[in-house]
Structure 1
Amino acid sequence: MSQEILNNVRKNLQAITPYAPGKPISDVKREYGLEDVIKLASNENPAGPSPKAQEAIAAALWSLHRYPDGGAVDLKAALAATYHIPTGQILVGNGSDECIKMVSETFLNPGDEVVVPVPSFSQYWFGTQVMDGTLVQVPLADGFEYDLDAMLTAVTERTKLLYLCTPNNPTGTYLRKAELRNFLDKVPSHVLVILDEAYAEYVCAEDAANGIDFLREGYNVLVMRTFSKMYALAALRIGYVLCREDVVHEINRVREPFNVNTLAQVAAVAALGDAEHVEKNRAMNQAGYEQVTAGLTALGFSYIPTQANFLLFDTKLNDKELFQLLLEQGVITRSGTALGAPGYLRVTIGTKEENQRFLTALELVVSQLRQKV
């Protein structure tokens, strides 16, 4: 390829480093010569998908020679029945990542501003940068809580989008109903507030805000959810947004014709209909939370209380070194430095056995590190 062609690449793309997900189990086995590796890095559901979803996938295999339903009619109908939202207010995407990118493509011109909390989900930055927008970062307050006053102050006439992730990834902290209402009442009408609720199904706090309630009340919000976490369909890549019908109409202009595959659609419909599986997953996550927090406390670590299926804890050590040592023990986590929280480590809540494996490995490697200090 000639240099002249490379010179035609849009300059704003040079700032983008391709997303680096948690290391795959196969890579860790190969690199360290291990036979038994557990992955607690990507906030996946260790229970796996609903048996009903698995059956729906198997039943749909005969139709893979056909294009998927570009309108996701059955899935939209199922979501509408679940949330009591008209189908015209629903848009389905190839994971939350595509939803974020479509929103960016719809609303952002070069130089337009996007207000985001930090640390939070990195794809907000990616969507902004792809469209040559300007990211306005607002640090979280003490305890990784939202500083909503600072976020309001960051809004200008050039602000188009404002992201709030609740529960927030990577911290697990969440927004309360009263504080979100007070915030939304003050946000200028030209700003679309995006409530990323990827972990909403794990939330147990009674005072937690639910974006769908605010959408029903007419607030200028776009609620984003996914089937990757609680519903354990991460490999199929399926997310969705709920917002005003006129906003859906505009986003549809940039949506690919067949952006969500058939297997994802039928699995999502079946998963929505399996409330028992969701309740079992929620109970398992709560038990795992209690197991991991008790273990961390016994080892002398403080952690951030979470409403999600992961924990962020203060290592008081070099988190990158701790991450590496755990990797060598066959336990994949995420370094806080990689997530914008240096000194911390994020661990997904797994099965009872996986949680114990993590705690045992952590005790071993922390002892090694503390001896070096």
Structure 2
Amino acid sequence: MTGAPTPRPADRPVPRATLADVPAYVAGRPPTPREGVPTYKLSSNENPYAPPAAVLAAAESAARTMNRYPDMGSTALFEALGDELGVPTSHLAVGTGSVALLYHLVQAFCEPGDEVVFAWRSFEAYPIAAAVCGARAVQVPLTSDGRHDLDAMADAVTDRTRVVLVCTPNNPTGPAVRHAELAAFLDRVPAGVVVVVDEAYREFVRSEDPVDALALGRGRANVVVMRTLAKAYGLAGLRVGYLVASDEIAAAVRKCALPFGVSAVAQAAAVAALGCTTELAERVDAIVAERERVVAALREQGWSVPQADGNFVWLGLGEHTPAFAAAADQAGIMVRPYGTDGVRVTIAEPAGNDVFLGVADAFEPKV
């Protein structure tokens, strides 16, 4: 028997009660302009390189028809992704960044009161996606070195769990999950629970035993591989993400997507970027080399830096987080502070990285 509807005040509209529990997403801020001081934005994990000429040309050409709606089926993009990944297009969904696909997936699989399990601290959109649907976020603490505790995450799965999120490399702390440990974890998760492998930074991984999420998904119908063209491909301003899943899961996500969500310019640029893999790989290699230089310098200064597998580094500053962020801002760089947990710092152009290293060297205490 259905209970009586929740009474609403007659004098004003009132949003759903669950929205009161939705945390605000905090984007990386640009640096504060300072006269005579070069500034660098190291707060949003953006690629410091401009897109290749072919990508710019494709975007400019598509912009000439902006008076028309984009292809709602993203046909050319689906075909390019299918060819690149070796998967049927029926296994694909695209959206305005991988974060949009995350929202669509949770909406497709979670009823109010269901559970979404993920490590914490991790990508801050995870608790938002759960809360918007009225689901309960189950946050499993990271290990002391910033890694996923996959055994604890498996233990946290209950009969109310509908979705598990694995961010690898983990944003914001940096370490990537290993293929063998993820395979063992998937063997422990019930087949009826969706497991999302969020690989927004996969192209930057150089560690041993890297995850092959597509291979893991071939034998498991509950595995979803989620990726973006914002980071390594340098399309952050156009918002293009994609996922690979079973026919059933991909279709459910597409049903929840906004019509015409991915613009014509974004689709054209994404297709062109997928054809520039050699040029883009060289840029990723340059960022990885800078990351290794920065990590080595920080450790030489006395910092304890977790394994950095993305295009960023993490300093677990604890209560000193606000002071470090303020010192960085004063020097002309904007880092991304996370409350009193620490700061995430994007690997950017070498000059900006050098300013960051100067701030880190002068800062005390080093943790």
**Normalised-by-shorter TM-score class:** over 0.9
Moved over 6 A (4+): none
In the alignment, is the contact (CA less than 8 A) between 2:116 and 2:162 conserved in 1? Answer: yes
Aligned to 1:180: 182
In the alignment, is the contact (CA less than 8 A) between 2:47 and 2:348 conserved in 1? Answer: yes
Deviation at 1:34, TM superposition (A): 6.3
Aligned to 2:40: 38
Aligned to 1:19: 25
Percent of pairs identical after alignment?
Answer: 35
Point out the structure with the larger helix share: 1
Structure 2, unpaired ranges of 5+: 1-7
Structure 2 residue identity aligned to 1:10: R
CA deviation map 1:130-150 (0-9, x unaligned)? 011111111112312221111
In the alignment, is the contact (CA less than 8 A) between 1:68 and 1:262 conserved in 2? Answer: yes
Q: How does 1:53-202 map to 2 (within 5 A)?
A: 53-202=55-204
Deviation at 1:256, TM superposition (A): 1.3
In the alignment, is the contact (CA less than 8 A) between 1:167 and 1:197 conserved in 2? Answer: yes
Aligned to 2:322: 320
CA distance in 1, matches of 2:11, 2:350: 53
Structure 2 residue identity aligned to 1:42: S
In the alignment, is the contact (CA less than 8 A) between 2:96 and 2:262 conserved in 1? Answer: yes
Structure 1 residue identity aligned to 2:324: L
Change (3 A) 1:305 1:64: same
Structure 1 residue identity aligned to 2:211: A
> Is residue 257 of structure 2 the alignment partner of residue 259 of structure 1?
no
Aligned to 1:333: 335
Deviation at 1:6, TM superposition (A): 4.6
In the alignment, is the contact (CA less than 8 A) between 2:166 and 2:195 conserved in 1? Answer: yes
Structure 2 residue identity aligned to 1:9: P
Structure 1, unpaired ranges of 5+: none
CA deviation map 1:27-81 (0-9, x unaligned)? x11xx55652101111111112222211111121211111001010100101100
CA distance in 1, matches of 2:220, 2:318: 45
Larger displacement relative to structure 2 (247-256 or 231-240)? 247-256
Question: Could you say what the CA RMSD is over the residues aligned between the two structures, in angstroms?
Answer: 1.9
Structure 2 residue identity aligned to 1:173: P
CA distance in 1, matches of 2:36, 2:15: 42
CA distance in 2, matches of 1:207, 1:300: 28
SS in 1 for 2:217: helix
In the alignment, is the contact (CA less than 8 A) between 2:179 and 2:211 conserved in 1? Answer: yes
SS in 1 for 2:269: helix
Aligned to 1:297: 299
Aligned to 2:356: 358
CA distance in 2, matches of 1:222, 1:352: 35
CA distance in 1, matches of 2:48, 2:354: 14
Aligned to 1:48: 50
SS in 2 for 1:236: coil
Deviation at 1:230, TM superposition (A): 0.2
CA deviation map 1:108-132 (0-9, x unaligned)? 1110011111010011111110011
Report the TM-score, using the length of structure 1 for normalisation.
Answer: 0.91
In the alignment, is the contact (CA less than 8 A) between 2:105 and 2:252 conserved in 1? Answer: no
In the alignment, is the contact (CA less than 8 A) between 2:147 and 2:170 conserved in 1? Answer: no
In the alignment, is the contact (CA less than 8 A) between 2:328 and 2:334 conserved in 1? Answer: yes
Deviation at 1:299, TM superposition (A): 2.0
Deviation at 1:361, TM superposition (A): 3.2
Structure 2 residue identity aligned to 1:337: G
Larger displacement relative to structure 2 (37-46 or 346-355)? 346-355
Deviation at 1:219, TM superposition (A): 4.3
CA distance in 2, matches of 1:274, 1:280: 10
Deviation at 1:248, TM superposition (A): 1.4
Deviation at 1:316, TM superposition (A): 7.3
